[in-house]
Amino acid sequence: MTYRFEDPAAEFVLAVERIFGEHPRVLDGSRAVLVGDVKLQLEAGERELWLIETHGPLEHRVAMVQVRDDVEDALREAKEKLDARE
């Protein structure tokens, strides 16, 4: 018998690099990365992607994107939200 499981976090760092076009700083294993002054963090069993502004030690949760089937889709949506804020 063969068991198979999927881990969206395993592809997360590479997907961030593809979508945002820069190498992110990895935080907290592979479940959180820093892109500029925005932290992208997977939570709730990799079903939620939080966009968190960082200002030194202070953090402000800006938005949350649902991760459905593909983490890249969620990252594209997150990038759109960040681009709309600028």
Report pLDDT digits (tens) over 38-79: 999 998 777 899 999 988 888 899 999 999 888 899 999 999
Asked if residue 41 is part of any domain, the answer here is yes
Asked if residue 61 is part of any domain, the answer here is yes
Asked if residue 34 is part of any domain, the answer here is yes
How far apart are the C-alpha atoms of 4 and 19, rounded to whole Å? 27
- How many domains does the chain divide into? 1
Name the band, by pLDDT with cuts 50, 70 and 90, for residue 1: confident
**What is the pLDDT, as a whole number, of residue 8?**
55
Residue with tokens 């068991």: 3
Rg of the Cα atoms in the chain: 13
Q: Which residue has the higher pLDDT, 86 or 54?
A: 54
**What is the pLDDT, as a whole number, of residue 7?**
57
Asked if residue 1 is part of any domain, the answer here is no
3-state secondary structure of 30: coil
Which residue segment(s) compose the domain that 12 sits in?
8-85
User: Given a cut of 90, is residue 28 above it in pLDDT?
Assistant: no
Asked if residue 36 is part of any domain, the answer here is yes
